[in-house]
Structure 1
Amino acid sequence: MGEQFIRLLAGRVSEREQQLLVMAYSSLRRRVAETLLRLYEPTANDPEATIQLSREDMAAMVGTAPESLIRTLSEFNQSGLIELTPGNIRVVQPEKLRCAHW
């Protein structure tokens, strides 16, 4: 049981390290796309599922100012990758978000 707990903690540390590397070396678009995909994955089987998170909270997750996040989300919306409604984000084309060369 103790070994499972250590593995769980080690996995979380590795995940956090990866997130910090992404934040440090990736473009803003890539960071926003990665965050959207991370939030989308648990609901991937439900085509109507939305991400319900304030822009301020999401900006903190991405590591940017809310204004920069909103601008990037608007670009993704105009490109048809996501749909924005007040208080909700729906990922429409996850594969394009995942494979884009930002």
Structure 2
Amino acid sequence: MLTPTAVSHSTLHRSNHTLPVPPRTATRCSVCAMRHLCMPQGLTLDDLPRLEAVICSARSVRRGETVYRAGDPFDNLYVARSGSLKTVMAHRDGRQQVTGLRLAGDPLGFDGISTGFHTCSAIALEDSSVCIIPYQALKHLCRETGALQDRMHRLMSEQLIRESSQMMVLGSLSADERVAAFLLDVSERNGQRGYSHAEFNLRMTREDMGSYLGMTLETVSRTLSRFQKRGLIDAQGKLIKIIDLEGLRHV
């Protein structure tokens, strides 16, 4: 049986300063509202307590704090338990590129498996929390639990598919199509989590959206204004209301 002592300690950062590690809270996957997104199907009654022993804690992350930075040693995988986060990679000239939006139930940290070091940073877009999953302990449990190993493979495959889809968005779609595809993606993912697909707070700034979609801040703002004039959406700050879902799909 794996115990909470198997969990390695992580450091959360803000700007360039290391923050005190906040207290952890006990995590029970069986009562988590996001369990349908990250929990494997087919676990036995004996398997669930063992998984909960590995994922034995959740940690709060304040807006602007990082769960891990590019270059940090890879020890843990994470799952967003609440809130939302972005993943960011740095160019050689210091510019930063937003590479992903992670919502509750989404995994984080797969980028570190290959080299043993994280290649991107994960930053909270709002006050959030993450479940901490020590990778070595998880590997040990995967060898003993087929359902968990299958779920790991599915999560990694889903992330590859999402990244490939993003490459297609950047390489072949117009500015209007990129913004529409992004809003539809967030809408669908909110629906999967039991939230409204038609009205949501988009925690990404317009600048982050531009970085993620390969557009300037000005182009993102003009595109959203154009969608609003066409009656496709109503954008009031971070609050997005999708008024004409079919119209947005046909952009």
Q: Which has the higher contact order (CA 8 A, sep 6+)?
A: 1
* Corresponding position of 1:24: 171
Which position in structure 1 is the counterpart of 2:196? 46
TM-score where L is the length of structure 1: 0.84
2:207 corresponds, among 36, 56, 60, to 56
- How far apart are residue 45 of structure 1 and its match? 6.2
Deviation at 1:30, TM superposition (A): 0.4
Residue in 2 that maps onto 1:68: 219
Which amino acid in 2 is paired with 1:98? Answer: R
Structure 1 vs Structure 2 CA RMSD: 2.0
Q: Percent identity?
A: 29
Higher mean C-alpha displacement, 65-74 vs 54-63: 54-63
**TM-score normalised by the chain length of structure 2:** 0.37
Deviations 1:15-55 (A, max 9, x none): 21011111111111100000011112214863772333321
Structure with a larger share of its residues in strand: 2
Deviates more, 1:69-78 or 1:13-22: 13-22
Deviation at 1:12, TM superposition (A): 1.2
Name which one, 1 or 2, has greater alpha-carbon Rg. Answer: 2
**DSSP-derived class of the 1:89 partner:** strand
**Structure 1 unpaired stretches of 5+:** none
- Aligned pair in 2 of structure 1 residues 48, 11: CA closer, same or farther (>3 Å)? closer
Aligned to 2:156: 9
Q: Secondary structure at the match of 2:199?
A: coil
Greater helix share, 1 or 2? Answer: 1
SS at 2:200's partner residue? coil
- Secondary structure of the 1:46 match is coil
Partner of 1:50, secondary structure, is: strand
Cα separation, 2, equivalents of 1:46 and 1:15: 22
In structure 2, C-alpha distance between the alignment counterparts of 1:86 and 1:8, rounded to whole Å: 32
Once the two structures are TM-superposed, the CA of residue 89 in structure 1 deviates from its matched residue by 2.0
Q: Structure 1 residues 47 and 31, CA, compared in 2 at 3 Å: closer, same or farther?
A: closer
**Is the contact between residue 170 and residue 178 of structure 2 (CA under 8 Å) also seen in structure 1?**
yes
Distance 1:27 1:48, change over 3 A: closer
Listed as ranges, the gaps of 5+ residues in structure 2 are 1-147
